[in-house]
Structure 1
């Protein structure tokens, strides 16, 4: 049973008890008053004990002192003297009080006179009017008090219910993560502890939610923040591009794409740690170049690619950013002896631009910038200036490289780990444009493959390498030359290579051709033919970045290279990585059974060197072993 009903029932019981007590007390008082009235009437009648007259006269005499409801005088001998007034029944008596009907009392009396018999009943209204009035007032007061208390209680309960409803709404709002301040004035009295508890819960929940939000923001930031540069990653960048696609058409801005194109070379020349440091320094250059702008976002969208999105900036203001960035990149390149640091492409955008088209245009701008020289930039001002522009620049640049043979070489030693016999040194190719600036090696090779110029480029590299070795007798030993996997899969190139090497048998025996494993995996039969043809002229073949693709025993059995160079990821932390050690041990065991030498690359620390030596690899290459050195080609 609820509190409201319980209190109402209690009030009803209390007032019922009061009415009952009042009734019992009134009953006694009325009974006493009725007895006194009857006794007084008897005294009056005794005065007429010897009455010999008629009953009507006696009624007139007694009515002066008492009021009768019923009066009957019956003479003993003379019926003509009889007299009757009123009735014993109260029905029809409008003066009869209603309250008098609920009490039991006796106002009757029968008296024997000397010559007659007198029977009377006193009038209730006249005899007990004072008692009835008092009782009516008391009962009315009790009833009014009951109604007043009930009304007051109903009002209080209504307000109490409103406060409870308010408390419930506060709880509901908290469950919906709304934390409006608690109005303590609405939770008073017995609900003060409830209000205090709600305020405590509100403040604690709000604090906890803010803490969770901060933790989520930190986790989101960590998940979508590049640890090397501190910039956001590709996913928020693509979300930003999608937002541009839904902007109003009058909204505009700029997209700058910065390609740290020397990342692969720096990793190979100086190691992975140097590569990370290089990216961090490029990121710092970008960060400094954006100082002074208010609305921009910077992202690292791939291993060596960055993007900057400027909102609501006209194209004419981009020159300041590009000039400042080039100056910073040049300073970094000079202080760290790096030929080229990064290239920048910039395009304007407007609302409703599709992300794919915008990215393609920015990539084209970067491609053009790469052909212009170190740390250069290019702006594509119109949306219709598409890929053909970049294609033209790269085709022209690569044709010029091939025709004018503008390349240089570095060499890096591969140290034997099981004997003191030198294995070979790898030749690292550098490409130079018309202005004498070094172009990004990775981009040149990728673009040559893209435009079908890879065989001509590889032929030029091989020719220049042979010329360098012929013209420099001091360069002894064997050298590794990198050629494209796409070239070795073409019979015409393989036949040309076989013919040119067959004419220089002694020189051919000093050449080890390094080919990427992933490319060789695409056509095992062609790869096997290439290895066989090279063996015929005395040259050898090394499979580089081994283990990065889908390596199988079939590759060992059918292709049979002379060397396999493990991808540098297997050297990274190998002293702590059981999986890497197991894989390397398995490869070494299989390779030795079929007389293939295994070389580890990317060795940057002493712990890695010692662990790899214990695994019985044949050679080690990396920044810790030997740094690349420039080779001057004799004219």
Structure 2
């Protein structure tokens, strides 16, 4: 029950109580007056105790002082004196008089007879009713005035409350219109002021939330490096394309930045970000005249472009322009490739999963076609090989054709009494003579269990090259996978091969990644001992990233360790990094192990490493990888 109804009920009960009290008071007064009149009559009739004569005469005598409702005189000796007037039963009263019913009977024995009367109280009752009516009028008029006043005040309050409620409802709808203070009156004015202040504060906070949301949305849905949409937006776009109500056709283009991992490893993440930014800029330039193109970065190294209302022929022209731009960029940076592109046309109600399967297949095929190539995959005929399966076929093909070329990158010694080597970098090419992405070839070979065959190809071609190239002197470094180095059958094969060519074996330095070696220290120890037994040397690359790095010093004793490029790139900014590198150098020198800094891209990095008394330096600032052209010719004729 609301407060207003409770108050109305209280008023009704209060004034009903006042009415009842007034009624009781008037009734008491009436009873008192009637009793006084009855007492006066009793005194008067006592004076007529010896009355002799007719009853009518007695009635006339008493009527001068009293009004009778009923009068009856009965003479005991002479019935002729008997007299009766009025009626014993009272007359029926109307209106309020019936609430004041009062009887005043009296019986008196006289000497000559008996007198029975009922005094009439009509005049007294009428005056009592009149007074009671006046009191009722005052009471209920007051009640009415109070009720009307309260009702008016309540209506006024309700208007203010309704207005405040409307303001709150508008606030819930984030509507921040000005408050009409004239509509908020009385005690609600303070609420209006507080509400207005709260509204302003809330508006300020909401504005702040909007700004934060915009910033977070930009972060969540826009890649900070390229400015392209994120995978979440791309997924929404694919879902939109897959809806039955979607109309129109277009082309989905996926571009894979195949050299990102290598650039991050050799030059650092900042260089990797620059690489991605350059690719994004080339993509934007290629689509400069295609306003409907939508750009996304859907993974670390993958970009997607959705081009609505375009034919595959027109998209092919864009892919050609991209290939040209990528070729020019490749010549500038000297990487094996920049990116590979897959094109897939889509129609109304295309299935997103099938569309991405086609796109992945197209990119995988493009990667096997040579640097910066593209491939169009309109549909699956059943003869295509998807992603990794196609790579397995491609790796088997290059193993069969022995399709490998070597680049060489020297390591510059920092001291005259230190002997260092030149590192051979393997490059693989397809049947058309176009280079394949090296990192992808190695990763796919390991995934399909073909690392051992690939490493054997590298070792055999290196041995053949050194035998046929007597002018290529000095130590030569070869990269092999950790999977092969920890495989006893491969180590046995390698030792057997090197045992036949001990002079060449003494010139070889086998490079293996620390991350793969530290997983199996006993196998690593066996690998190093076996190669040391035939005169070869061991270099642990990407050293310093594992928790067991120092244990390698004690357990396996390699000939060289190559620090991870991250130590070089941060050597001038991070004093802790410098301290760690210095500690490695000191420990390695005591154990007779030579330490090489890799990823040297700047002069300040070179100087900082030389100040720490590093043994050797390798990086693009020292010397870029260069092809072994003469050795390639000898291999071709072999």
Above 0.5 in TM-score? yes
Pairing partner for 2:557 from 544, 555, 560:
560
Deviations 1:299-348 (A, max 9, x none): 2412x333445679775664355344334434544565656321112345
Deviations 1:396-432 (A, max 9, x none): 86258625x6x3524244342x667563343444455
Q: Per-residue deviation at 1:279? A: 1.5
Q: What residue number does 2:379 align with?
A: 382
Distance 2:594 2:306 in 1: 49
Moved more, 449-458 or 18-27: 18-27
Q: CA RMSD in A?
A: 5.8
Q: What residue number does 2:226 align with?
A: 229
Q: Per-residue deviation at 1:132? A: 2.4
Q: 1:348 to 1:200 in 2, by over 3 A?
A: farther
Q: What residue number does 1:470 align with?
A: 470
Q: Per-residue deviation at 1:595? A: 1.7
Q: What residue number does 1:48 align with?
A: none
- The equivalences for 1:26-175 within 5 A come to 54-56=54-56, 59=59, 67-71=67-71, 80-81=80-81, 83-86=83-86, 92-95=90-93, 99=97, 102=100, 123-126=120-123, 128-129=125-126, 132-133=129-130, 135-136=132-133, 139=136, 142-143=139-140, 146=143
Q: What residue number does 1:365 align with?
A: 362
Whether 1:262 and 2:263 are equivalent positions in the alignment is no
Tell me the number of residue pairs that the alignment of Structure 1 and Structure 2 aligns.
613
- Structure 1 length-normalised TM: 0.72
Q: 1:211 to 1:295 in 2, by over 3 A?
A: farther
Instruction: Give the secondary structure class of the aligned counterpart of 2:258.
Output: coil
Pairing partner for 2:594 from 593, 597, 610:
597
Unaligned runs of 5+ in 2: 46-50, 634-638
Q: What residue number does 2:10 align with?
A: 9
Whether 1:322 and 2:319 are equivalent positions in the alignment is yes
Q: Per-residue deviation at 1:201? A: 4.6
Q: Per-residue deviation at 1:390? A: 2.9
Maintained 8 Å contact 1:38/1:109? no
Instruction: Give the secondary structure class of the aligned counterpart of 2:402.
Output: helix
- The equivalences for 1:423-572 within 5 A come to 423-431=420-428, 437-447=434-444, 450=448, 452=450, 453-455=453-455, 457-459=457-459, 461-463=461-463, 466=466, 470-471=470-471, 477-486=474-483, 488=485, 489=487, 490-491=490-491, 494-495=494-495, 497-498=497-498, 501-502=501-502, 505=503, 509-521=506-518, 527-528=524-525, 530-536=527-533, 538-548=535-545, 551=548, 555-572=552-569
Q: Per-residue deviation at 1:69? A: 1.7
Maintained 8 Å contact 1:574/1:581? yes
Maintained 8 Å contact 2:395/2:441? no
Distance 2:551 2:418 in 1: 30
Q: Per-residue deviation at 1:562? A: 0.7
Unaligned runs of 5+ in 1: 46-50
Distance 1:71 1:493 in 2: 153
Q: Per-residue deviation at 1:482? A: 2.8
Q: 1:136 to 1:485 in 2, by over 3 A?
A: closer
Q: Per-residue deviation at 1:481? A: 3.3
Moved more, 273-282 or 334-343: 334-343
Q: Per-residue deviation at 1:280? A: 1.2
Instruction: Give the secondary structure class of the aligned counterpart of 2:542.
Output: strand
Instruction: Give the secondary structure class of the aligned counterpart of 1:470.
Output: coil
Q: What residue number does 1:628 align with?
A: 624
Moved more, 603-612 or 556-565: 603-612
Distance 1:237 1:424 in 2: 49
Maintained 8 Å contact 1:96/1:125? no
Q: What residue number does 1:345 align with?
A: 342
Distance 1:462 1:294 in 2: 51
Q: 1:80 to 1:125 in 2, by over 3 A?
A: same
